[in-house]
Chain A
Amino acid sequence: NKHVIRGKSGVEQVKLLDRFNNKTTTGTLYLTATHLIFVESNVPGAHEIWILHHHIASVEKLSLTTSGCPLLIQCRNFRVVHFVVPRERDCHDVYSSLLRLLRPVSYDELYAFSYNPKQNEQQREVGWQLIDLTAEFERLGLPCDQWQLSDVNRDYKVCETYPRDLYVPITASKPIIVGSSKFRSKGRFPVLTYFYQEKKAAVCRCSQPLSGFSARCLEDEHMLQAISKANHNSRFVYVMDTRPKLNALANRAAGKGYENEDNYSNIRFQFVGIENIHVMRASLQKLLEVVGTRSLSVNDYLLGLESSGWLRHIKAIVDAAIFLTKAVTVEGASVLVHCSDGWDRTAQVCALGALLMDPYYRTLKGFMVLIEKEWISFGHKFADRCDQLDGDPREVSPVFTQFLDCVWQLMEQFPQAFEFSEWFLIQLHEHVHSCQFGNFLGNSQRQREELQLKDRTYSLWAHLLSEQHNYLNPVYSPSFAERHPVLEPSTQPWNFKFWRNMYHQFDRTMHPRQSILKHTLTLKESNSKLEDTAHTLQAVSSYLLSSPLRCTNTPLQSLSSLHDSSPDAPDGNGGERTVEGSSATENGYGELQSSFSSKNEPAMVSLEFGVARMTC
C-alpha cells in the first residue's frame, strides 16, 4: 500500500547523507500512509529506515545542489536524515506529501486508529486493564482514616483536566472542594497523588492560586488546613511552588500567583525555581543544535552544553524532587506541589519524588503505573506538548523528555535500583511521539474517553510488557530496594551528564561499539536457558541410565540456538572486518588527501535496539 508518487512507486537513486561524516548511501524512497521508508539499494540484506510521519518534526527543502535537491528531515526521536533527491520535481512531491501527512488536524488521522497488531477484542481489552490506578491507591493504603475517595469530579464537572477518581482529606467537604477549585487555575484544586504510609504523609498536587495581589479564598485555606490536619506527624504542610519566584510574582499581575503565608495558617512556602515550558523548549533546541554540529570541538561542546542550560534544568528538577522526598520521608510532612497549571513541572517533581521514595515505581510495571498516574491521568497535555496535532507551536515542550532524562541520571547513580534499563526509557520516548498506541493521545482523561481510545486503539503497556525481556536491567537487585527504599542521589554537578544514547540514538558512530548492557542482558537470558537445559539434561541422564537405548536431542537444539545469538561474538576471519559499526573514516580523524588510494569502508551495520520496530 505504498503511496504512488507521480506515477512511480518510489523515488530511486536517492542519496542519504550521514550528518557527521561523508558517508552516503544510495537507495529508494517510498511514502506510505504512515511511514516514509528508505531502502538501501544493491546491498544484500539491505538496510531500511522507517520513519513514522508522526515522528517528523520538520521537513526542509534546502537549496539545489549539483547532485540534486536536498531534503532535511528532523524527527522528534532525535533522528535527523538528510536526503538528496536527484530530480527537483520528485523532491517537491515528497516534500509536499510529507507536509500534508505530518500534521494531522484531527485525532482520527493518528496512526493509533489504523494500527492493528492482529489482536482480538478481548486481548485489546485485557491490554487496557493491565494498569489499574484504583489498585495503585489501594497499594498505597487508600482510602484510609484520613483520606477518602471523592466523587466530586465523577462527571468532570469540577475540573475537566483531572481524572474522575480523586483522593482528598476526609475533612474536605464538597463545598470546600468546589470553593477551592474556583480559586485555582483551571480548577485544579489540591488532591492527593502519593501517600507515604510509613509517616502518613501525603504528596498533593494542584495549580497556582488565583490570588493576584491580595485575593484570598477561605475554602482554599480550609483545604490546605485539611491536608495539614490529615497528617499528625507534622504541624505544617510544605507548599512547593516549582517556579522561579520572579515568574510567580509576574503571574500576580494576571490575577494568579502564589500562597500568601499570612493567610494560610500552617504552611511553609518554598520556591524551587524550575523554568517554564518555553525556556525548556529553547534549551533542548539549543542543545540539539550544539550536538548536531559537524566536527564539534570539545570546548564548543562543553560551552554549548553549558549555554543550552539543559543539564542545569535537569538538575533543578532532581533538586526539587529531592527536596520533596526529604520533606516527606525525613520530616514526615505532607507536601503540596504546584506550578502554574500544575501539569508540567508539578508532574515532573511529583513523579520523580515518588520514584525516589517508593521502590515499586522502579519496577517495570510500577513505572508504568507512575506514568499512568502522574502524567496521563492528571492531565499532562501530551497532545499539545508532543505536537500530536497541528497546533500552537508555543505549546510544544520536552517536559516528559526531561522527566525521562532525570530518571536516566538516577539510573547512572544507582545501576541496581531499576528493574528496567535505559532502552525502556528510550522506547517510552519513542511512543509518546509515535501516536501508535492510545495511551498518550489527547490532553486529558476526559478527552481520551470522548475519543473512545480503549475501544479504538491498543495499549502501549501491553505491547511493552509483551517484549519486556528487551527492557530489563540485568543487574537489577530487588534486595537493593530493601537496603535503599529511599534513594538519596548526589547532586554534585558532575553527576549530571549528557544522555548520548537518547539524543544520539540514531548516530551509531558515537556509541560504544560493544554494549555492556546488551552483553550482560544476553548472558543473563542465556543463564536461565542454561539452567533449564542443565535441568533437562539431568532428567535425561537419569532417564538414560534406566533405559540406555533412548536418546533425545531437545537440549542440543536449545544450546546451539543459544550460541548463535550470543552478542559481540569475535569474528574469527579478521581480515578487513572491524568491530561492528567501528570504522576509521566515519569518525573523521583527519583528512587524508585523495592522492593516496582510498578504499571503501565495509557497510555499517545498524543496531536499532531500543528503537521502535514497526509492526505493520
Chain B
Amino acid sequence: MEFAELIKTPRVDGVVLHRPFLPTVEGTLCLTGHHLILSSRQDNTEELWLLHANIDAIEKRFIGSLGTIIVKCKDLRIIQLDIPGMEECLNIANSIEALSTLDSVSLMYPFFYRPMFEVIEDGWNLFLPEEAFKELESMTDEWRLSEVNKDFSICPSYPALVTVPKDIDDDSLCKAATFRHGGRFPVLSYYHKKNGMVIMRASQPLTGTSGRRCKEDEKLINATLRAGKRGYIIDTRTIAVAQQAKARGGGFEQEANYPQWRRIHKAIERTNILQESLIKIVEACNDHSNSMDRWLSKLEASNWQSQVKEILTTACLAAQCIDREGASVLVHGTEGTDSTLQVTSLAQIILEPACRTVRGFQALVEREWLQAGHPFQQRCAQSAYSNEKLRSEAPVFLLFLDCVWQILRQFPCSFQFNEHFLVMLFEHTYASQFGTFLGTTAAERVKLKLSQKTVSLWSWVNRPQELERFLNPLYEPNSLVIWPSVAPQSLLLWEGVFLRWNRSTKCLDEAYEEMVHIIEYNKELQLKVWVRSSAAGQRRFMGPCISHMHILSL
C-alpha cells in the first residue's frame, strides 16, 4: 500500500493552529505518510510535527467554508486546526483518520525512521538477559538460565531465556507451564542481595473448578524457599475475582497444595476498568468549567488515584515481605502480564537503589515489561479520547509510571532521573519514532526484526545531550530501601501528565531552573574552594570536601 493513496490533499495554505497557552500560528499544513506538519515558513517560529500514530481522535466542524479539525492526541494534548476550504478540510480529516488507524505494524513510523544522530551505543544490545544473569551469578548459585523457551513454544509471551531455580529441570518447566495461564510458569523477577529473598512472577494456575494440581509447579516454587522458610503468594485480584476465574479454567493456589505459602489477595483492577478510569480522569482535567465540588467529585469518580494507591500498596507489601519479613514472594494476577508487572517492578524500585538510576530504570523496563511480555502495542493502541470500540487498551504502564512519580515526589533526592524522563516514556509507549515499544512479546519483536530494522529508544535517550534533560539535579545515591507513604493525603495528581496541556507551567519551570542554579552554583563553589585550598597548600585537610568531588568528575 502506498501512503499517497490515503492522502488526497497533501498541502493546504493559510491553516491556523490553536494550542492552549501558546500564540496561534498561521502557516502551511502538510501531510506525509507518518506526520502532520504545520509550518509558518518563518525562520524563528517553531514547526508542529505530529506523528499520525499520536492522534487518538479527531473532530470536524464547519462554519461556512471554514473547516475546523480538533486533533486529540494520545499524549493528551488537544490542538485545533482551522482549514480554509470545505473540501480540503474533509480530505485532510479523512487522511488523518486513515493514517492514524493503520493496523499493520510494519507500516509504523519506526520502520521508516532514520536517525539524524550517530548511534554510539546500540540500545538493542544494552540489556540482554545473559548480562543480567551474570550479575545474579556473582551473588548466588541457586539459579540457572534456562533455554527451554528458546523457540517461544513453551510460553509465547516469555523471552527466550528465563531464570529459574537451579534444581528444576526443563522438563519440569514444560509441565509447570501447562498448569499456568498462557504458559507463564513461575520465573525469577528479583533477587534481594541483602537477604537472598526473591520475587517470582507467573500467571494464575489453571486449577479450574475441579481443583487441578501440578506437582512440578509446586516443586518449582518450593525450590525458591530456603529450608524452613515460608513465602507469600500475592494474588493481585480479590478473592472473589480469583474464585470466578476458576469457572474459566483459571484459579489460585490452594493452601493444601502449597502449605509453605500464605496467599494474600489485593484488588488491582482489570485492564478495561483501568482504561475507563483513564478516560474519566482526562475528561475531568479537560473540563474548565468545573466548580470545586464538581472537580473533586469527578476526580473521585474516575478512581484513578485509587488505582495508584492500590498498585503502590501491593508493591510495598511485596517489598515488605522481602525486606522486613525475610520471606520470598510469588506475584500473579490472571495473565501475569499487567498488574503482576506493576507490582514486581515497583517493588524493585523500593528495594533496589540501582533501579533508581537512569540505566537501572531502563534495565527494569526492559526486564520487567518488554521481555516479560507486557503487550504494549495492544495496551497503547488507543488513549483517552478514542471513539473506537475498546479492544484491550489499558494504561497499565502509565499507572506504573504514575506510581514511580509518586515515589519520586516523596524521595526527590533518591532518583537519578526526573519527572521529564517518566513523561517521555509515557509518550513513547503511545507513539514513537523508535521501535522499542512495538509488538506485544519478545517473540513478536524477534519476528519483526525490530533490532535490525528500527532504532532503540535507549540509543537516543542515552546520548549525553539528550540525557541531560532527564537528570535530577537533586540526586544523591542512597543505598537504602525507600518506603513511600500510601495515605491518600500523600498521593498527588500527576499534573505533569494530566494537566500538562491545561496550564501554564512558566512560573514552575522558572522556579525549577532557579533550584538547579543553586545546586550548580554550590558545586562550582565547592570546586573553587577546593582548588584554592590546594593552592594554599592545605589540600590534605580538605577531607570533607572531597566527597563532593565525585559529582564534579561525572
Contacts and interface: CB of A to CB of B under 8 A. Distances in A.
Interface centre among A496, A541, A597 (most CB of B within 10 A): A541
A137 interface: no
B518 A584 contact: no
Interface string B475-511: 0111111111111111101010001001110011011
Interface stretch (B28-36, B128-136, B520-528): B520-528
B529 interface: yes
A512 interface: yes
Interface residues of B, number: 90
B299 interface: yes
B532 interface: yes
Interface string A568-594: 111110100111001111111110110
Contacts of B151: none
A298 B491 contact: yes
Contacts of A309: 293
B552 to A, nearest CB: 14
Contact of A312 (B293, B316, B521, B545): B293
A512 B412 contact: yes
A414 B515 CA distance: 14
Contacts of B303: 299
Contacts of A556: 533, 538, 541-542
B325 A510 contact: no
Nearest to B478: A570
Contact of A415 (B499, B507, B519, B545): B507
A582 B306 contact: no
B518 A475 contact: yes
A516 B412 CA distance: 7
Interface string A274-317: 00000000000000000100001111111101100101100100
Interface string A459-497: 000000000000000110100100000000010111110
B321 interface: yes
A496 B292 contact: yes
Contacts of B323: 584
Nearest to B326: A597
A40 B325 CA distance: 27
A298 B414 contact: no
A586 B484 CA distance: 10
B262 interface: yes
B535 A475 contact: no
B544 interface: yes
Interface stretch (A79-87, A142-150, A179-187, A529-537): A529-537
A106 to B, nearest CB: 39
B511 A315 contact: no
A216 to B, nearest CB: 37
Interface stretch (B81-89, B211-219, B283-291, B370-378): B283-291
B544 A563 contact: yes
A520 interface: yes
A563 B541 CA distance: 13
B411 A519 contact: no
B112 interface: no
Contact of A494 (B314, B493, B511): B493
A540 interface: yes
B413 A519 contact: yes
A514 interface: yes
A589 B325 CA distance: 13
A524 B518 contact: yes
Interface centre among B292, B297, B533, B545 (most CB of A within 10 A): B292
Given A572-B479, A592-B325, A301 B489 contact: yes
Contact of A477 (B230, B514, B522): B514
A474 B316 contact: no
Interface in A163-200: none
B478 A579 contact: yes
B184 interface: no
B536 A475 contact: no
A28 interface: no
Contact of B485 (A475, A527, A540, A587): A587
Contacts, number: 248
A605 to B, nearest CB: 14
A590 to B, nearest CB: 4
B223 interface: no
Interface in B137-171: none
A520 B522 CA distance: 10
B297 A303 contact: yes
A297 to B, nearest CB: 7
Given A494-B493, A520-B518, A537 B479 contact: no
Given A520-B515, A524-B518, A578-B483, A500 B489 contact: yes
Given A524-B518, A534-B528, A579-B482, A584 B489 contact: no
A556 B547 CA distance: 15
Contact of B474 (A20, A519, A527, A531): A519
Given A299-B300, A577-B480, A590 B320 contact: yes
Contacts of B536: 537, 540-541, 544
B313 interface: yes
Contacts of A531: 525
Nearest to B517: A475
Contacts of A414: 507
Interface string B31-59: 00000000000000000000000000000
B410 A512 contact: yes
B430 to A, nearest CB: 23
A587 B316 contact: yes
A530 B525 contact: yes
A474 B507 contact: no
Contact of A298 (B266, B305, B503, B519): B305
A538 interface: yes
A302 B528 contact: no
Given A302-B296, A590-B313, A592-B320, A568 B476 contact: yes
Given A306-B293, A514-B414, A541 B532 contact: yes
A574 B368 CA distance: 25
Nearest to A476: B514
Contacts of A254: none
Given A303-B300, A582-B483, A596-B327, A560 B411 contact: no
A231 to B, nearest CB: 31
A417 B502 CA distance: 22
B487 A296 contact: yes
B85 to A, nearest CB: 36
A585 B508 contact: no
B319 interface: yes
Contacts of A564: 544
A526 interface: yes
Contacts of B495: 494
A302 B300 contact: yes
B391 interface: no
A535 B544 CA distance: 19
B413 A514 contact: yes
B365 interface: no
Interface in B380-433: 409-414
A544 to B, nearest CB: 6
A504 interface: yes
20 contacts: A298-B306, A299-B300, A300-B488, A303-B300, A306-B292, A416-B511, A494-B495, A510-B489, A512-B409, A515-B412, A534-B528, A541-B535, A551-B538, A555-B529, A556-B541, A571-B478, A578-B482, A584-B324, A586-B483, A596-B230
A-B complex: 9 closest residue pairs judged by Cβ atoms = A301-B488, A415-B511, A493-B295, A302-B300, A530-B525, A563-B544, A306-B296, A537-B532, A589-B316
Interface of A: 20, 291, 296-303, 305-306, 309, 311-312, 315, 413-417, 474-475, 477, 480, 490, 492-496, 498, 500, 504, 509-516, 519-520, 523-524, 526-527, 530-531, 533-534, 537-538, 540-541, 544, 551, 553, 555-556, 559-560, 562-564, 568-572, 574, 577-579, 582-590, 592-593, 595-599
Given A298-B488, A551-B537, 6 more contacts: A297-B309, A298-B306, A415-B507, A541-B536, A568-B413, A574-B480
